[in-house]
Structure 1
Amino acid sequence: MKLKLVFTILFGLLLSACAQNLRILHTNDSHAAYEPASNGQGGYLALEYHLDEARSERRNSLWLDAGDMQTGSIISSLEYDGLKGGAVLEVFERLELDAATFGNHEFDVSEAHARALTQRAAFPFLSANILNPDGSSFGRAPYQIFRKGNTKVAVIGLTIDSLPERVKPENVAKLSILPYTDAIDRVLDEADAASDLVVILSHNGWEADSLLATQLDERVDMIIGGHSHLAFPVAKEINGIYILSSGSHLQYLGQADLRIKQDRIASFDNRLIPLTQAPADYHSKLAPFLEESIGELERKLNKVVGILPEAFESDKFRVTTSILWA
């Protein structure tokens, strides 16, 4: 019995000393972009294909989304399963998203709607700095530990602290928005002690993320960011912390390959994968759901609601100020 115990302890120590491989996939600011853009890239089906490809190459993969998956196309206005934007959640669930943080656009409708999105999603929305009146996280948790192979990854969620200025004030009036460092300080010791890698999943914007990195220490390894719609082909490194962002509207899937040894990143490599369309022989599990959802949308949108007496010329410069909040 003692020999078995000694072997178990030694085996555990050997595993902890060995380098562990991990692939992190990341998206942000997809804005319900279910179709390819004019350049032929993007859309949910392209995302499905490239996720499958990336996961098939590396078994230990974690997919994180840095917010604003809602608002931007008509599919986010579709009521699915009794919830506006429910079809977007369904897509991300079927594609097996591991975790997300809140973007400002998740609060576009109301607090109750944002809460319903959280409750409906099979994946966790994580938030360390948006708090309920009782002080609990507005998300499912402030952070969560994910085990991939022998690697434990702590993911801490953060959302832009100017949220009351970016949505209708009443949508967040009952909530408290903590400063970033205050929110992180509340959970970082615990998250770091329980994990091999600490990732901040942030919808704060590049400027805020880069400043935040200067205020953190070696307990934080990486920031995956959103809000600024910036695509970093090569990760930024500030104060020893890698900062990644994959652009917007599903033009790219971010991919970072890491070797982790003794709670440190021993090697790091990242790239942006252009979300080109899947080959003709690819079997999509998502396509039937999208066809049904889009078909329902088309039936609603193709109804004649009025007739203009003269031709209407669209003007892309006549937009509402809401575009400034993207």
Structure 2
Amino acid sequence: MEKIVLLHTNDLHSHLENWPKIRRYLDQRKREVTQSGETAITVDLGDFTDRWHPLSEATNGHANVALMNQVGYDAATIGNNEGVGNSKDDLDHLYDQANFDVLLANLYDKKTLQLPKWAKPYKIIETKKGTKVGLIAMTAPFPLTYAPNGWDIRFPMEILAKLARSLRPQVDVLVLMSHLGIEDDHLIANELPMIDVILGSHTHHLFPEGKMVNGVLLAAAGKFGQYIGEVALTLDDQRQIIDREARTIETATLTAFPEDEKEIDGYLEEGHRLLKNKVVADLPYTLHLDPYADHSLIKETLAAVKFRGQTEAAVLNTGLFLTPLPQGIVDQDQLHTTLPHPMHLIRVALKGSDVIRMVLEMEKNRNFLRNFPMIGMGFRGKIFGQIVYDGISYDSVNHKVYWLDQEVQPEKEYTLTTVDHFMFVPFFPTIEIAGQYEFLFPEFIRSVLGNYLHAHYPIV
């Protein structure tokens, strides 16, 4: 008889307020399992890093990897926050100092069509009793955002079926580290029952006691480090699994040490300190949140967005902006505080008739979105807010749309710039359905604004 314990974390999203408890639990549990003669395997399933946290932003995620090194994970994979929340060069060097293997089988370099140098397609861990545990990892495919960043992201079933079938004869236990989401995990369990366990993430689902699907155990531990996942596998002397159990441990129930708060606060303080040291511009006046103010932050950002996209028009929403930018020296910390979203810009070309339809969609949803609580898809604010145009106007009396004060011509082509969020939310379908769009990498919107302010209000 043999027992193998899989300890898994996922979707921490830089919620470091839970990290001291998680680190202690994993360390203690690994020692307990090892001392009892059993095998512990510890993995992270991606989205450990999220650049909403100032320390993650200031260090390009390297501080997060240093924290992961404290645990000594056996393997980790990436989520979309690591995959598209970093430039290609940043991701290529994110794990330079990692003391764990990064597994990822469905991401390729667009130029070489090879896996990145920092990733392995799988790993086989052999226990002291000779049992071989195979680990495969997959991340959620978002071609629209991976491709412009220099990556070729493959859909999981294009690769997973062949990889699982080739690896299965080499191992006694086959585990999928999935950053694919609950629906894909169910699909894979139904189509590939040779996988024994799927450790799930990405959609932040929680299976407190696991879930059996077609003989495959699905395990999932929620989000933000609120839970830690554990799977216990019991094998007979022929190395066949005779029992499998999953559970989650709620971190709120774990003992907090007096020094935890100081450690957590220290991460924030260090992040803010590093970002404050990176000065950007010297503003002659405060940029206010009020879109109708003489010096409006959203109007300044619209100008920056137009400049980056090299277009005549731009559209943004006021909910993106969380704090004003005060008169005087502006630093990266202030930019990160007001625009914490991991959003890129998109340049969208539309026929005039589609511009009219897009604006009508925006006007139809305007009052609804003004106080709409927006969650997910990269949005780190509270409400969507008010839609604001630059270069576009709408005559609500005559229901006409104007471009640079000229009525939009249905057959003429127009190009505007906005954030990718406008394409991902369901309110403006014309952008994705009728638009010819191009993602502008690698800058986030805060970097676009920062570059514009640096050029127009230089520090003397």
TM-based fold match above 0.5: yes
Residue 208, structure 1, aligned to residue 184, structure 2: yes
Deviation at 1:287, TM superposition (A): 9.2
Query: 3-state SS of the aligned residue for 1:182?
Result: helix
Matches within 5 A, 1:174-185: 174-185=150-161
CA distance in 1, matches of 2:95, 2:257: 35
Residue in structure 1 matched with residue 133 of structure 2 by the alignment = 153
Instruction: Give identity over the alignment, percent.
Output: 26
Task: Report which stretch shifted further, 60-69 or 143-152.
Answer: 143-152
Alpha-carbon shift at residue 309 of structure 1 (Å) = 8.1
TM-score normalised according to structure 1 size:
0.77
- Residues 45, 287 of structure 1: 8 Å contact kept: no
Shift of 1:211: 0.8
Deviates more, 1:297-306 or 1:99-108: 297-306
1:192, 1:198 within 8 Å by CA — same for their partners in 2? Answer: yes
Alignment of 1:193 onto 2:172: no
Q: CA deviation at 1:288?
A: 9.1
Structure 1 residues 289, 95: CA separation in 2 closer, same or farther (over 3 Å shift)?
farther
Match of 2:3 among 21, 26, 48: 21
Aligned to 2:13: 31
Task: Report how far residue 310 of structure 1 moved.
Answer: 9.9
Q: 1:308 Cα deviation (Å)?
A: 7.9
Whichever residue aligns with residue 30 of structure 2, its letter is R
> Does the CA-based 8 Å contact 1:22-1:258 persist in structure 2?
yes
Q: Shift of residue 290 of structure 1? A: 6.3
Query: How far off its partner does 1:213 sit?
Result: 1.1
Distance 2:28 2:264 in 1: 20
Residues 182, 301 of structure 1: alpha-carbon distance in 2 compared, 3 angstrom cutoff: closer
Q: Aligned partner of 1:73: which letter? A: H
Q: 1:318 to 1:23 in 2, by over 3 A?
A: closer
- CA 1:130–1:298: 2 relative to 1, 3 Å: closer
Would the alpha carbon gap of residues 56 and 288 (structure 1) be closer, same or farther in structure 2, given more than 3 Å must change?
farther
1:317 aligns with 2:317: no
Stretches of structure 2 lacking an aligned partner (at least 5 in a row): 291-320, 324-370, 380-420, 425-460
For residues 201-236 of structure 1, what are the alpha-carbon distances to aligned partners after superposition, in whole Å with 9 as ceiling and x for unaligned? 111100011011111033x10111111001110211
Cα distance per residue 1:251-293 (max 9 Å; x no partner): 0000111112334321112211011353548xx8x99986764
More displaced 10-residue stretch of structure 1: 139-148 or 247-256: 139-148
Q: Which has the larger radius of gyration?
A: 2
1:254 and 2:229 equivalent? yes
For residues 52 and 58 of structure 1, the distance between their equivalents in structure 2, rounded to whole angstroms, comes to 10
- Would you say the 8 A contact 1:118–1:124 is kept in 2? no
Q: Deviations over 1:18-59 (max 9, x none)?
A: x21111011111101111xxxxxxx11010121123223211
The whole-number CA distance in structure 1 between the counterparts of 2:24 and 2:216 is 30
Instruction: Give the direction of change, closer, same or farther, for the CA distance of 1:244–1:132 in structure 2 (3 Å limit).
Output: same
Please give the TM-score of this superposition, normalised by the length of structure 2: 0.56
Gaps of 5+ in 1: 1-18, 36-42
1:34 and 1:75 in contact (8 A); partners too: no
Matching residue's letter, 1:25? L
Q: Specify whether residues 160 and 278 from structure 1 end up closer, same or farther in structure 2 by C-alpha distance, changes over 3 A only.
A: same
Q: How many residues align?
A: 288
- Following TM superposition, by how much is the alpha carbon of 1:91 offset from its aligned partner in structure 2, in angstroms? 0.3
State yes or no: 1:112 paired with 2:92: no
- SS of residue matched to 2:119: coil
Report the alpha carbon displacement of residue 74 of structure 1 after superposing the two structures with TM. Answer: 2.3
What's the counterpart of residue 137 of structure 1?
115
Matches of 1:199 and 1:302, distance apart in 2: 43
Alignment of 1:255-274 (within 5 A): 255-261=230-236, 262-274=238-250
Higher RCO, 1 or 2 (CA under 8 Å, sep at least 6)? 1
**Cα shift at 1:307:** 6.5
Of 126-135 and 308-317, the range deviating more from structure 2 = 308-317
CA distance 1:233–1:115, change in 2 (3 Å): same
Contact 2:123 2:134 in 1 (8 A): yes
State the distance in 2 between where 1:320 and 1:210 align: 22
Distance (whole Å) between structure 2 residues aligned to residue 181 and residue 319 of structure 1: 29
* 1:127 aligned residue: 104
What does the per-residue CA deviation read over 1:294-321, in whole Å, with 9 as the maximum and x for residues that have no partner? Answer: 4422435678998688999988936785
